[in-house]
């Protein structure tokens, strides 16, 4: 393909504010370009022995404190993050020929922050958080539907509180890697660490 691949890497606290701001402007561009699920990202985690695993999650917050996603803490990713609190995220926006990956330490979000986010979710998503036994084998679709019906009735009668096993993780970036393809344009940045 005719084109130039360039990349820019930011690391260290001084560069990080600029890196987060660049990330947000790229995300806005992806939204404007009509990317389907622009906040979808690959989340890579690993056991303490170094066995990696990946899956998709959705970015819910990106601010000066980092990148937040929510999940079931008893899931495979939740257990791996408990024993090895490091993760890498990867956003892929082919429509604008850009990709970003983010590496960093992971911390659980504060319970009040998770409660506020849980309360903002639609009813079905809150039921889903209760009903889904993430990463566990499902005997049948009927089993899942029975759990959804059970929690809908049980929780419909009272306040729908956040389950204790469901919360958020914040990836605190140590390195953000920006990767883009521009037809016939060569781009250079002060912090370029390599190309291709």
Ligand X SMILES: Cc1cc2nc3c(=O)[nH]c(=O)nc-3n(C[C@H](O)[C@H](O)[C@H](O)COP(=O)(O)O)c2cc1C
Q: Please, is 194 exposed, middle or buried when counting C-beta atoms within 10 Å of its C-beta (0-12, 13-18, 19+)?
A: exposed
Nearer to ligand X, 3 or 52 (CB): 52
Shortest approach of ligand X to residue 140 CB, angstroms?
18
State in angstroms the smallest separation of the CB of 124 from ligand X.
14
| Contact status, residue 95 vs residue 30, Cβ threshold 8 Å | yes
Q: Which backbone phi and psi does 188 adopt, to 5 degrees?
A: -130, 140
Q: How far is the CB of 5 from ligand X (least distance, A)?
A: 26
99 by Cβ neighbours in 10 Å (0-12 / 13-18 / 19+) ranks as middle
- Closer to ligand X by CB, 22 or 40: give it: 40
Nearer to ligand X, 55 or 65 (CB): 55
Which DSSP symbol is given to 109? P
Chain residues in the site for ligand X (CB under 6 A): 37, 40, 53, 55-58, 69-72, 75-77, 134-135
Shortest Å distance, C-beta 78 to ligand X: 7
Residue 76 or 175 with smaller CB distance to ligand X? 76
Query: Are the CB atoms for 26 and 178 separated by under 8 Å?
Result: yes
């Amino acid at each position: 393909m005719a084109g130039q691949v360039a990349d820019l890497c930011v690391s260290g606290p001084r560069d990080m504010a600029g890196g987060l701001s660049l990330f947000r402007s790229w995300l806005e561009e992806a939204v404007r370009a009509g990317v389907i699920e622009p906040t979808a990202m690959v989340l890579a985690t690993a056991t303490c022995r170094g066995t990696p695993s990946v899956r998709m999650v959705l970015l819910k917050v990106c601010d000066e404190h980092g990148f937040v996603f929510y999940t079931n803490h008893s899931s495979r990713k939740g257990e791996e993050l408990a024993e090895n609190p490091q993760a890498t995220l990867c956003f892929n926006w082919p429509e604008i020929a850009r990709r970003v990956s983010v590496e960093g330490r992971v911390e659980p979000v504060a319970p009040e922050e998770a409660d506020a986010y849980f309360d903002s979710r639609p009813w079905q998503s809150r039921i889903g958080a209760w009903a889904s036994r993430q990463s566990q084998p499902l005997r049948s679709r009927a089993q899942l539907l029975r759990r959804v019906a059970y929690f809908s009735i049980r929780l419909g009668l009272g306040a729908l509180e956040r389950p204790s096993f469901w919360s958020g993780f914040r990836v605190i970036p140590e390195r953000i890697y920006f990767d883009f393809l521009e037809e016939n344009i060569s781009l250079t940045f002060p912090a370029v660490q390599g190309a291709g």
